[in-house]
Structure 1
């Protein structure tokens, strides 16, 4: 009988927001495929302090090498459960893991995602924007001109399809992106800025672009999700 591949969410902040069943399952797993061994070891020791674990229990995820991917699933093929962990949030949601998971499906290995924090979904939940139709776009172009063009295209898509547009940025570029959003979006487009999701310092605010312009908000170098929606009619 084949083992299971558990998709394990990890911390997105200093808070531990995890069901007890996640800890119970992690305690039964002895082999993990991870994005970073040091980060994952610290995470498991924090939420399962009684578990005996070391770097020997980890293999680093390498989705560019199908031989390594196949080898990492070998234990599942022989009946042992393994866990997939990335550095923050949910594997395969704006994180590595897709190829390993797909390879598991191709080999009829049972894939079991566990419940845990996703800053993208939590930001969407708290935004007040359309959660029935939304698109996650990852990172926008770094080049300023290309980014401006992309923002305007996504705004048209949002308006035509009644679709919320979600994206992220490297923290040190947050302010530059925020300024470009204010400069390129229509004044009546709604923009949500969600910072430090899941932490004690989290802040989620949605306003029309014209209000953001008057507020002169400073976006620090903190993990931030940006969402906008064009064409909404308020009460």
Structure 2
């Protein structure tokens, strides 16, 4: 399947800003170079791809996150910004620091007195929420649920109780190869009257979303391509 044109997912302003940068902080240098190659097909890059300065966040930041107190110190990565270079922060998908690493870089930029400018791009969590029919006025992203079935069910029921009591939509994600297991746990573990929504492959041609009461999910499971990125939402 051919990749979606960048102009479909990213606004022109974001693309031109990306083309003008020469310094990057990223999760993965290889995929960032592939992204910049595609940007360069639309807008000339400020410097050739081979000369782009790309620094990866440490592996432990990917695994453990970088948003808590006493976490990763990203100030050294922003040395080029202190020398006058604009520095881009890019994640593998979606938006940095939103269900992705990057918060430590943003905190460091504020601490150093640097200007922080978020650029518009697709955020799967918000796309899924908008398409779910669940409350977009009060919601929480709870990240990954426990893999162990008993602990997962315990947390699911606690989150569901919060949703029913407060009206707060609960949003979670999973590693693609465990999507089917999580969906099965949601359908089996949530109450019949709870609304469950799943969005898969946001912004891709194969994107799909299904939203229904759990009782309806139990009667008829939709054919969703769960092998890719998915967002799960539930509430009232």
- Partner of 1:226, secondary structure, is strand
The match for 1:10 is none
Structure 2 spans left out of the alignment, 5+ residues: 62-70
Match of 2:230 in 1: 224
In the other structure, the counterpart of 1:94 is 99
Are the equivalent residues in 2 in contact too, given 1:194–1:205 (CA < 8 A)?
yes
Q: Which runs of 4+ in 1 moved over 3 A?
A: none
**TM-score normalised to structure 2 length:** 0.87
Q: Which runs of 5+ in 1 are unaligned?
A: 1-12, 231-235
Per chain length, whose mean CA-contact separation is higher, i.e. which structure has more relative contact order (CA < 8 Å, sep 6+)? 1
Q: For this pair of structures, how many residues does the alignment match?
A: 216
Which residue number in structure 1 is paired with residue 66 of structure 2?
none
Contact 1:33 1:60 in 2 (8 A): yes
For residue 179 of structure 1, the aligned residue among 177, 184, 187 is: 184
Instruction: Give TM-score scaled by structure 1 length.
Output: 0.87
For the aligned residue pairs, the C-alpha RMSD in angstroms reads: 1.5
Q: What SS class does the counterpart of residue 117 from structure 2 fall into?
A: strand
Q: 1:46 aligns with which of 18, 21, 38?
A: 38
| 1:56 Cα deviation after fit | 4.9
- CA–CA separation in structure 2 for the residues paired with 1:55 and 1:181: 47
Q: Report the Cα offset of residue 54 of structure 1.
A: 2.2
Separation (CA, whole Å) in 2 of partners of 1:182 and 1:15: 35
Question: Relative to structure 2, which stretch is displaced further, 49-58 or 34-43?
Answer: 49-58
Describe how 1:116-131 pairs up with structure 2 within 5 A: 116-131=121-136
Corresponding position of 1:84: 89
Corresponding residue for residue 163 of structure 2: 158
User: Would the aligned equivalents of 1:15 and 1:198 in 2 still touch at CA under 8 Å?
Assistant: no
Aligned-partner SS, 1:111: coil
Change (3 A) 1:155 1:65: closer
Q: Which residue number in structure 1 is paired with residue 117 of structure 2? A: 112
Q: Does 1:167 align with 2:167?
A: no
Alignment partners' CA distance in 1, 2:36 and 2:30: 10
Deviations along 1:135-165, one digit per CA (max 9) or x if unpaired, are: 0000000111000000000000001111100
Report the Cα offset of residue 217 of structure 1.
3.5
Shift of residue 204 of structure 1?
0.9
